[in-house]
Every structure is written in C-alpha cells, then in structure tokens.
C-alpha cells in the first residue's frame, strides 16, 4: 500500500521498492522508517491483463525533503543539510544579493570505467551549489557533503570519494556538514 499525503491508501499489485530498503529478513524499526519519510513514489500504472482494470502495477519510493518540496534526499541527515543550505541561500540572497541554485545529483558523476578496469562505487555528491547565473553543466561553485557517521571505515571511504568528486567537478571546493563531533558540541556549531 502507498499512503498518500491526502486521500485513501493506494493498493499496489506488485512490489514496492524503496530506496535504502534492507533485505527481507531484516526489519526496520518505527524510528528508522519515520526518519526516511516522506517519500516520493514513481509508479507503473496499467492493466495487468488485456481487458483488466487500470491499477498500480509496481512502485519505487525514495525519501524526499518534505511533502511540499520533492527534492530527493538519502537520509534524515541530508534533509537537515538541505534545510541548512536553504536557510543560507535565503540569507545570502536577502542580505548580500548572492544567489545560488542547489542541485541534488541522482546519477553517477564519476569518470567512465574502462571494460578491463576494476569496478568503483558511484560518485554522487550530496549537493552541488551553482551561482545562479551559471549554466548547471559547468563546474559547481561548491560541493556539500553530509557526514553522518564517526567510524573510521566510513570516513576513509568518504575521503576517497571526495577526492574523486573534486576531480570530476574541476577541483571545486568541498564543504562537510558534520553530524558527529565532540561531547557537548551543538549541531549548529558544526
């Protein structure tokens, strides 16, 4: 079932795939599911049989910023980073006349991989900021990455990926939005 913001629940005949879903034998708790909501759902609509009724045949759901802002995000922490970026965006426009566009890439930006080269993880920056008067195809003004975990393995993987992101984006500066810090350190300070 898909539960829309308004209206009755919608029955989905087939599978509903959700971004970040876990294997069937692992169940998320209520808090984990709530942290990813709300979702934007893309559905295949049609008749399963030639003369059958029109119905939702399958669906893919991805977390989005809010029911009113459908930008895709990967986590509640990315949602908070986006909220901070939007506040800075408004303040800079109102107080300094500086305007920028926030882009949320959803596809791999990394260099092409040769057939005989080892596979690499996808290179998808969390957010790219572009000066308002620049073409979005040019290098971004800034890369912003949400840093959600303190463990060393995560940090090493992100560090390698950040080097690739900067290289692909013509050595664009990269800013980290940290979600882990010292005891007593407020998130606003980070």
Q: What are phi and psi of 177, to 5 degrees?
A: -100, 100
Q: What phi and psi values does residue 131 have, to the nearest 5 degrees?
A: -60, 140
User: What's the confidence (pLDDT) of residue 175?
Assistant: 94
Instruction: Note the pLDDT of residue 34.
Output: 64
Q: Which residues contact residue 27 at a Cβ distance below 8 angstroms, ignoring those fewer than 6 apart?
A: none
Strand ranges inside 5-161, DSSP E: 16-18, 39-47, 54-66, 69-72, 100-103, 127-131, 142-147
Q: Please report the pLDDT score of residue 131 as a whole number.
A: 85
Every domain of the chain and the residues it spans: 16-68, 73-178
What is the predicted pLDDT for the residue at 179? 87
Q: What is the CA radius of gyration of the chain?
A: 20
Instruction: Quote the CA–CA distance of 145 and 31 in Å, as a whole number.
Output: 24
pLDDT of residue 181: 72
Local confidence pLDDT in tens for the 190 residues of the chain: 999 988 999 999 999 998 876 665 556 666 666 667 899 999 999 999 999 999 999 999 999 999 999 999 998 899 999 999 999 999 999 998 888 999 999 999 988 877 777 888 889 999 999 987 665 666 778 999 999 888 899 999 999 999 999 998 888 999 999 988 766 777 766 6
Helices and strands, counts by H and E, the chain:
3, 8
Rounded to two decimals, the pTM is 0.81
């Amino acid at each position: 079932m898909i539960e829309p913001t308004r209206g009755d629940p919608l029955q989905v005949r087939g599978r509903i795939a959700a971004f970040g879903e876990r294997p069937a034998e692992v169940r998320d708790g209520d808090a984990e599911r709530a942290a990813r909501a709300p979702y934007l759902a893309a559905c295949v609509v049609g008749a399963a049989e030639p003369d059958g009724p029109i119905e939702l045949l399958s669906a893919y759901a991805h977390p989005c910023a809010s029911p009113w802002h459908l930008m895709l995000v990967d986590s509640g922490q990315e949602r908070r980073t986006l909220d901070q970026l939007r506040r800075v965006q408004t303040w800079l426009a109102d107080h300094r006349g500086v305007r920028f566009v926030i882009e949320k890439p959803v596809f791999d930006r990394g260099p092409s991989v040769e057939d005989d080269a080892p596979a690499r993880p996808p290179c998808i920056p969390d957010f790219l900021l572009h000066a308002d008067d620049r073409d979005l195809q040019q290098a971004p003004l800034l890369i912003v990455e949400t840093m959600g975990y303190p463990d060393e393995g995560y940090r090493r993987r992100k560090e390698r990926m950040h080097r690739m992101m900067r290289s692909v984006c013509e050595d664009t500066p990269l800013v980290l939005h940290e979600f882990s810090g010292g005891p007593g350190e407020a998130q606003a300070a980070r």
